[in-house]
Amino acid sequence: MIPVRIPSFGRRIGVRMLLCGTMLQVCPASIAAARRAPPHASTRHAISSARNIHQARPEAMTVTGTRRFNFAHAQREADSTTHISAETLRDRHVVAVTDLQNLAPNLTVQSLKGTQSINYHLRGVGLDDYYENNVSSVMVYVDDVAYPFSSMTDGMMFDIADVGIAPGPAGFTHGTPDSGGEVSLHSADPTSTWHGGASEDIASYARSITNGYISGPIARNLTFRLAGQTIQGGGWQYDPSNGAHLGDQDQSALRGKLRWTPDSRTSIQIGGHWTRDNSELVNGKPVINLDPSWQHYPDLSGYRQTAWDMRPDFAKLVGRPDTLKPSEHNIFWGADVRIGHDFGFAKFDTISAFETERQGEYSDEDGTALATGDVYRNVDANAFSQEVKLTSADGHPLHWVIGAYYARSRMAQQFFSNFTDYKGRGYISQSSYDQNQQAFSQYANLEYRLTHTINLIGGLNHMSDDRQLLNYRTIQYGHSNLAFVPEGALTNQIGGLLGIQDQFTEHFQGYFKVSKGFKPGGFAANNTVAQAQLNAFKPESLVAYELGFKSDPLPGKLRLNGAAFYYDYHNQQVVSSFLLTDYGPLGTYVNVPRSNIWGIEFSADARPLAHVYLNGNMGYERGTYTTFDALNTPATNAYHAATGVYRAFYTDYSGTDLGIPKLTMTGSAAYRTDLTADLTGELGVNGNYRDSQAMTIGGTGAYRLPSYFLMGACATVASKAHGWSATVYATNLLDRHYSVTSSSESTTYQHVPGAPRFIGGRLSYGF
């Protein structure tokens, strides 16, 4: 171990580089202070505190004198939040939000038909939103700003300090209420001393990922941080008929922060970001022929094989070249202003944010070279939010948070569908609409330290959400011109939280919570040909019961956390089908009167031997429809395939399994040691298992994604004194064939395959 001078501390300490990329450090004094913190600090405050611990220091080093686990403060919180550090994100090669499902129990993050629109499910709670015109059951935050449209997170997974994944009803201490929980991304903040770094990652299929950042002081009490990323190449699918390949990334992003601290009690920060994404998509592979009259069912037996096409007349209509591949053509940008002031008795915080998206997206939704379901979508959307919050000072038996959150969004969508090769239709259609939305919510949270170890928790929130669907039109060129009357959805709901926490010993605490969460209603607005498709679905709500514990039985050597939960679900919002007998099944949303979900979660970190580091988590969950009757889409499609006639088959799904993945597991093991006085080395392996998942109500066979197991590995050499590291790695080491989501359109039902094995290398330098 080499003593190194760290300017921000002004003292000598032993340091050692953590490996496999750009590194972060842990301050023993800060952790010790966090461990002494009273147990009444709010969950949100815990996440922020853990975040500030590693952002206040140089990002290239970590203390090894007394090694401790990350997020020590969070061990005193009455929640089951999964905290993910920057080094874990790097070691597990997380480059998109969909990769997060490999790091947390009972979490599903899936793209919509392989596009940049993302659906989140946490403990089985989530909405498969067709075109992201509805609020998610699991809200995503970036630097404490709620993103109402999931595609806005496109290109945001760089220079991330940490991630928090919190299941269960949310919105009692910050932000907006929801029923399923939240995913919080925290980007790195400006530093008071100069730091910078860069990395270049080159892997299979000519993929390149370049990252860089610079951070430091501009003037007295004025600091900044600027970070950027570009991702290129990596397309691994190909068309066997002509050899053309598909899936190359073409994405660039920038993020900047400017922080002014005029005095020790006040902080003012301005932030902004920009993303351009012209990446190609991953195409689905047909697994079911839904149309018996179609004689061109493709033979795409190879795992990497696919097919697509862009017809000249369709390209002219949407204003893109006829050589266009399935791809994105997106621009996202946003800005925020946050002000904080410590009044002594309480801390005042306000965040104002504005986010925009401009999408042009072409997806070949039949997975073939025929024009039976090609879709081009234009989206022009923006969202403004304003939060004001007051948090009491620590050190008192009563800790409270009160606040209010306002959000307003505007969206205009236009999507074209090419059915010219589909005998049942034979035309190009265009649908367009506008959607206006605004919501106002208020929240209050109280935590009272009843005794030295017992903490009582209570929370309350309310939301009023008003949204209107306007100017909806569907043009079937050469056939009809349809106009629909406006629709509206109004939600007024109240949520609540009650809990008790006991810090039984210094290193073991348990808690029990009961909470009620809710999510606003909305509309299905895809390819509408009948007014009934636009009927608003109702808000959903659930009552959640959770019993959990957190423990460090061998401090610095072993950490064990666990939780059990039961959800009583009312009016669960799910994707079903609406059948038009002369047209076919069309997706819509319905409310399940009653359902339930239960499960368990465990996580562990261990240092069993010198130089050996282990961590992992496991989630098991089951869900059942208690009362539910709906269209049986597989049976309806099967009857049409056999007879050429559409006939509705309805099924009572009471007692049917929800189809959520029952078992999810992830873990890693690493061996780290000094190679020389200056060089350190690491060998690591990781893996994750994901159970099968039904993609339709009661889905079996091809309507269910098979289970899969993936492995990865890495080896790193790094210099403690000179700030560089070199890594070789492999993802999907066993080259498994698996599917990550599914889709359907007219003639085919498809599975969207996951990435094959990638082998790569990364060079990093930081100071």
Reported as a single tens digit per residue, the pLDDT across 250-284 is 999 999 999 999 999 999 999 999 999 999 999 99
Helices and strands counted in the chain (H then E):
5, 44
Residue 573 phi, psi dihedral angles, 5° rounding: -90, 120
Q: What is the CATH number of the domain that holds 544?
A: 2.40.170.20
| pLDDT grade for 180, boundaries at 50, 70 and 90 | very high
Give the per-residue pLDDT at 112: 86
Give the per-residue pLDDT at 720: 94
Give the per-residue pLDDT at 68: 67
| pLDDT grade for 603, boundaries at 50, 70 and 90 | very high
Q: What is the DSSP string of 442-454?
A: EEEEEEEE-SSSE
Burial class of 117 by CB neighbour count within 10 A (0 to 12, 13 to 18, 19+): buried
pLDDT at 413 > cutoff 90: yes
Task: Render the burial of 560-576: b for 16+ CB within 10 Å, e for the rest.
Answer: bbbbbbebbbbbbbbbb
For residue 237, what are its two tokens?
A: 């699918």
pLDDT at 56 > cutoff 50: no
CA distance linking residue 742 with residue 705, whole number of Å: 8
CA distance linking residue 139 with residue 150, whole number of Å: 9
Bridge partner residues of 246 (DSSP): 237
Q: CB atoms < 10 A from the CB of 707, how many? A: 14
Q: Residue 449 belongs to what domain range?
A: 2-766
Handedness of CA 247, 249, 250, 252 (dihedral sign): positive
Q: What confidence tens digit (pLDDT) does each residue in 377-391 have? A: 999 999 999 999 999
Q: What confidence tens digit (pLDDT) does each residue in 182-226 have? A: 999 999 999 999 999 999 999 999 999 999 999 999 999 999 999
CA distance linking residue 600 with residue 274, whole number of Å: 39
- Beta-strand relationship, 181-187 and 138-142: parallel
For the beta sheet containing 62-63, the strands, ordered from the edge strand earlier in sequence to the opposite edge, are: 2-6, 11-16, 62-63
- Better-predicted residue by pLDDT, 478 or 116: 478
Give the per-residue pLDDT at 649: 87
Give the per-residue pLDDT at 627: 92
Give the per-residue pLDDT at 583: 73
Contact 350, 267 (CB under 8 A): no
For residue 678, what are its two tokens?
A: 């200056």
Give the per-residue pLDDT at 113: 81
CA distance linking residue 688 with residue 102, whole number of Å: 6
CA distance linking residue 330 with residue 360, whole number of Å: 6
pLDDT at 760 > cutoff 90: yes
Give the per-residue pLDDT at 647: 87
Least-confidence region, from 117-131, 243-257, 328-342, 463-477: 117-131
Mean pLDDT of 505-520: 97
Give the per-residue pLDDT at 645: 85
Give the per-residue pLDDT at 531: 87
CA distance linking residue 42 with residue 708, whole number of Å: 37
Only one residue has tokens 């970036």, namely: 142
Contact 172, 497 (CB under 8 A): yes
Contact 2, 721 (CB under 8 A): yes
Contact 361, 330 (CB under 8 A): yes
- Better-predicted residue by pLDDT, 574 or 644: 574
Q: What one-letter code names the amino acid at 502?
A: D
Please, which residues have CB within 8 angstroms of residue 474's CB and are 6 or more apart in sequence?
A: 429, 430, 431, 481, 482, 484, 527, 528, 529
pLDDT at 13 > cutoff 70: no
Give the per-residue pLDDT at 177: 95
Helix (H) or strand (E) holding 633: helix 633-643
Q: What one-letter code names the amino acid at 243?
A: G
Mean pLDDT of 343-369: 95
Give the per-residue pLDDT at 150: 84
pLDDT at 32 > cutoff 60: no
Give the per-residue pLDDT at 62: 37
Please, which residues have CB within 8 angstroms of residue 11's CB and are 6 or more apart in sequence?
A: none
pLDDT at 245 > cutoff 60: yes
Mean pLDDT of 680-708: 95
For residue 159, what are its two tokens?
A: 């220079």
Least-confidence region, from 282-296, 343-357, 407-421: 282-296
Mean pLDDT of 449-476: 96
pLDDT at 575 > cutoff 80: yes
CA distance linking residue 312 with residue 322, whole number of Å: 5
Q: CB atoms < 10 A from the CB of 204, how many? A: 16
Bridge partner residues of 384 (DSSP): 354, 408
DSSP state, residue 305:
B
Q: CB atoms < 10 A from the CB of 456, how many? A: 16
| pLDDT grade for 393, boundaries at 50, 70 and 90 | very high
703 alpha carbon, distance to own chain's centre: 24
Which residue, among 663, 743, 640, has the nearest Cα to 695 in the 3D structure? Answer: 743
User: What is residue 302's three-state secondary structure?
Assistant: coil
Bridge partner residues of 280 (DSSP): 327
CA distance linking residue 389 with residue 42, whole number of Å: 13
Give the per-residue pLDDT at 295: 61
Contact 351, 337 (CB under 8 A): yes
If one counts the domains in the chain, the total is: 1
Residue 519 phi, psi dihedral angles, 5° rounding: -140, 135
Please, which residues have CB within 8 angstroms of residue 617's CB and are 6 or more apart in sequence?
A: 82, 104, 105, 601, 602, 603, 604, 665, 666, 667
DSSP state, residue 177:
-
Least-confidence region, from 12-26, 68-82, 637-651, 666-680: 12-26
Which residue, among 438, 567, 543, 473, has the nearest Cα to 106 in the 3D structure? Answer: 567
For residue 35, what are its two tokens?
A: 């461990």
Give the per-residue pLDDT at 602: 97
Mean pLDDT of 560-589: 88
Give the per-residue pLDDT at 64: 36
Only one residue has tokens 């005794």, namely: 451
> How open is the CA angle 196-201-205, to the nearest 5 degrees?
160
